[in-house]
Amino acid sequence: MSGGSFSQRVGAVRDRVGAVSMSTWMLMASLAAMGGIAGVAAQEAKGQSGLPDVPSQTVRGAQATLLAVQQRMPKTEISSIDCVQPMGLCEVRAGDNIFYVDKAAKYLFIGHVYDLNAKIDLTEARLRTVAGAGDSDGLAGGQVVRASAPRGGNAAQQAIGRIDAGDKIDPRTLPAGGGIAWGREGGTPVVILTDFRCPYCRAVAHELEQMNVKVTEYPISILGSRSVANSVFCSRDRAKAVRDAYAGIPLGEGKCDTRALDRNEEFARQHGIQETPVLIRSDGAVLKGYRAKAILEAWLAGKAVQ
């Protein structure tokens, strides 16, 4: 399903609903060499996994879900797991592959997840970012837990990984002249660092457009989008150019002084920013990745969110 437009691919999925079950099992079988996902998933569907059941009430975030996945799929090498996803599932990375589970790791889904509002293939976007940025977890943001290498001993006592939280960036340290302003005058200020080829950036921009916010967007190039950023930055109407860039509308060649964008890139390197979007609140609080409108509003109001 890699070819065609978003609507064509969604239509193809809709037209083949009757074949979903068979194609899903074929996908599972193709991943069997990765560690036996097909066999375990098939047994789970029959209730005959032979593995200990993990009650859903024992799950407390990504770390507990990781332990549950490792219990149910002991032969599958898990790279990382992210349980803060817009569709309410946990994204599991196993090498170069991505699949999804619920937080109790009772149900397994293999396939592409689409955001129908933003018209984004979330899975494909994630796969492209993983391939393009190496082991740069957290495109979708949230709590990413990396699986530890050791397999012996008590799994609950292993160093599963660290969940980054409490990061702050002083907005006053942002590069001078590198921001593009758009949104509503008098709205709540918010800064976003984005890549114009990042679908999650497009998605979060779509949410912000519907809110009472004044956005200052700092383009950085992680996915090779510098030429697009140049064109946006050099446009007479930068706010419109931002929308056009996310919509894939061709822009004229950027011809102006773009050294401010160089400073954006250097800022990102200095702060170790390797994925987008990154949102910065006026008090310096940082939120990484896509969030829905309601969560963004709560976060901008000063509330703690996942």
137 and 248 share one domain: no
Is 292 inside any structural domain? yes
Residue 149: band (very low, low, confident or very high) from pLDDT cuts 50, 70, 90: very low
Is 216 inside any structural domain? yes
**Mean pLDDT of all residues in 207-222:** 96
Per-residue model confidence as pLDDT tens digits over 237-293 = 999 999 999 998 999 887 899 999 999 999 999 988 888 899 999 999 999 888 889
60 and 110 share one domain: yes
Is 274 inside any structural domain? yes
CATH number at residue 119: 3.10.450.70
Is 62 inside any structural domain? yes
pLDDT of residue 131: 61
Is 243 inside any structural domain? yes
Residues in the chain: 306
pLDDT of residue 213: 98
Residue 75 confidence (pLDDT) above 90: no
Backbone φ and ψ for 221, nearest 5 degrees, come out as -110, 105
Residue 49: band (very low, low, confident or very high) from pLDDT cuts 50, 70, 90: very low
Asked which of 115, 133, 157 is the last residue of a domain, the reply is 157
**Mean pLDDT of all residues in 178-204:** 94
Higher pLDDT, 159 or 186: 186
**Mean pLDDT of all residues in 108-130:** 76
pTM, to two decimals: 0.55
pLDDT of residue 206: 93
Asked which of 104, 134, 157 is the last residue of a domain, the reply is 157
pLDDT of residue 212: 97
Give percent of the chain above pLDDT 70.
Answer: 66
Average pLDDT over the chain, rounded to an integer:
73
Q: Structurally, how many domains does the chain consist of? A: 2
- Residue 89 to residue 269: CA distance in whole angstroms: 31
Is 125 inside any structural domain? yes
- Residue 189 to residue 282: CA distance in whole angstroms: 7
**Mean pLDDT of all residues in 185-208:** 94
Residue type, 286: V
Q: Which residues contact 16 (CB under 8 A, 6 or more apart)?
A: 23
151 and 266 share one domain: no
CATH number at residue 206: 3.40.30.10
63 and 91 share one domain: yes
176 and 251 share one domain: yes
pLDDT of residue 235: 95
Instruction: Give the domain range for residue 249.
Output: 171-300
124 and 81 share one domain: yes
**Mean pLDDT of all residues in 138-154:** 40
144 and 236 share one domain: no
Is 48 inside any structural domain? no
192 and 289 share one domain: yes
Q: Which residues contact 223 (CB under 8 A, 6 or more apart)?
A: 128, 129, 132, 133, 195, 197, 198
Determine contact, residues 69/105, Cβ cutoff 8 Å. yes
- Residue 69 to residue 49: CA distance in whole angstroms: 13
Residue 136 confidence (pLDDT) above 50: no
143 and 216 share one domain: no
pLDDT of residue 228: 94
177 and 266 share one domain: yes
- Residue 137 to residue 56: CA distance in whole angstroms: 25
Quote the distance between the C-alpha of residue 171 and its chain's center: 23
**Lowest-confidence range among 35-49, 86-100, 120-134, 270-284?**
35-49
Per-residue model confidence as pLDDT tens digits over 161-187 = 222 446 789 999 999 999 999 999 999
Residue 4: band (very low, low, confident or very high) from pLDDT cuts 50, 70, 90: low
210 and 278 share one domain: yes
Is 177 inside any structural domain? yes
Residue 77: band (very low, low, confident or very high) from pLDDT cuts 50, 70, 90: confident
**Mean pLDDT of all residues in 217-227:** 92
Asked which of 157, 191, 208 is the last residue of a domain, the reply is 157
